[in-house]
Amino acid sequence: MLLTGTVVADAETVIEEGAVVVEGSRIEAVGPRADLADRYGDRETHSYDLLLPGFVGGHVHSVQSLGRGIADDTELLDWLFDYVLPMEASLSAEEMAVAAKLGYLELIENGTTCCIDHLSVAHAEEAFEAAGEMGIRGVLGKVLMDRRSPDALREDTEAALAESERLIQRYHGAFDDRLRYAVTPRFAVSCSESCLRGARELTDRYDGVRIHTHASENRGEIETVESDTGLRNVHWLDEVGLTGEDVVLAHCVWTDESEREVLAETGTHVTHCPSSNMKLASGVAPVVDYLDRGINVALGNDGAPCNNTLDPLTEMRQASLLGKVDRLEPTAVPARTVFEMGTLNGAKAAGFERVGALREGWRADVIGLSTDQTRSVPIHDVFSHLVFAARGDDVRFTMVDGDVLMREGEVTVVDAEEIRRRGREVALGMELDEEREAARQQKP
């Protein structure tokens, strides 16, 4: 396939009249359109105004999609224990599949080709199957919770780790290595020491498996962990083995100097979720300081109940603007930096090689955008446009591993309207029954 348009290959490379040649699952060539059209003119050709590497969602909750709008204007722990966990606990396997498909559909429509997905305790298999069916690339994991959890979500530690291992054996590297596994403790508040240490031991038994958890999202969480352990959150995670190059920590809003040193020294990845942090009033992550220390910072939308969209372009805008406000410095978190956070940095956090840029021999994860909108006129600088003006619904084309998932704005791999219909149907039926009401009372 020959794709033509302005090619934004990475944060440093723009080819105005460019082209990308895809052969199988790989990018065969990237360069000027005139040169590549001569060599590959017999290929199926599609033209888009902008061609980019697919975005990488460094922290998402696909299965929370059915909770969009249920918990507005609440603080993190109330949001989680009063609304989100009861919702997760109430979903049947079929409903969890609907939730996952709805989340992946939104990601595909908005140009996210790869995600690090924090699932739920039960029915994780449904999400893996949905991701495989829909063709998205991802690092997924069943959630571990063995304390301070609603009864319907709290598991025996060994049983939870055993189920995680079963899922690793079934899905890690599945669907032509589009899907990989992350051992996924919810966060230190709801996981015992044996659970966290067990997560590290399990991860170390399998090549390429990662660890994905939340850390230091708000001050109440930190106070709880410090009361339990005598250590601040990142120090506690480091003590139990949950730092390192194979670890992705979402949020990291409230870290002190010593914790930031640990993150930098261990090569731990951080995912910045600006919209979620603002909406839950959790605070402003010290992203500039992380980047200055050489910490790899990805971008994530978090979940629909705290964002309320999974639009990566909006998240780039929020990240840049929030960074400027935090430092009171207009040069903080410039457009090219935040573009790299949303692409290549996310791929590094996910552990996927040759993903996050458009380069010869790299995986063919490509998106195409339209610039027909009035807010696209004029475009003096393409990175400024992408970060500050573009939106997810500008995406018209989504490809993963050379497979077209969306063309001309129409998703090709599933019946999108049927997924939306089922999502509405399940959401209408989600009422608080006795089990969910009981779960609401079980707060830390």
Per-residue model confidence as pLDDT tens digits over 284-336: 999 999 999 999 999 999 999 999 999 999 999 999 999 999 999 999 999 99
Residue-wise pLDDT tens digits, 98-125 = 999 999 999 999 999 999 999 999 999 9
Mean pLDDT score, 201-225: 97
Q: Which tokens belong to 246?
A: 């194979």
Percentage of residues in the chain with pLDDT exceeding 90? Answer: 93
Average pLDDT over every residue of 162-176: 98
User: Global pTM?
Assistant: 0.95
Q: What is the mean pLDDT of residues 169-195?
A: 98
Residue 437 has pLDDT above 60, yes or no: no
Confidence grade of residue 430 (pLDDT, cut at 50, 70, 90): confident
CATH topology of domain 55-350: TIM Barrel (3.20.20)
Q: State the pLDDT at residue 218.
A: 92
Mean confidence (pLDDT) of the chain: 95
Q: In this predicted model, what pLDDT tens digit does every residue of 11-34 receive, in sequence order? A: 999 999 999 999 999 999 999 999
Contact 397, 407 (CB under 8 A): yes
Q: Is the pLDDT of residue 432 over 50?
A: no
> Which of the four pLDDT bands, split at 50, 70 and 90, describes residue 237?
very high
2-53+357-411, superfamily in CATH?
A: Urease, subunit C, domain 1 (2.30.40.10)
pLDDT reading at 209 higher than 80: yes
Give the whole-angstrom CA distance, residue 81 versus residue 62: 18
For residue 353, name the pLDDT band (cuts at 50, 70, 90).
very high
Domain pair 2-53+357-411 / 55-350, same fold = no
Question: Rounded to an integer, what distance in angstroms lies between the CA atom of residue 368 and that of residue 47?
Answer: 8
- pLDDT more than 70, % of the chain: 97
d(CA 229, CA 11): 42
Domain spans, the chain? 2-53+357-411, 55-350
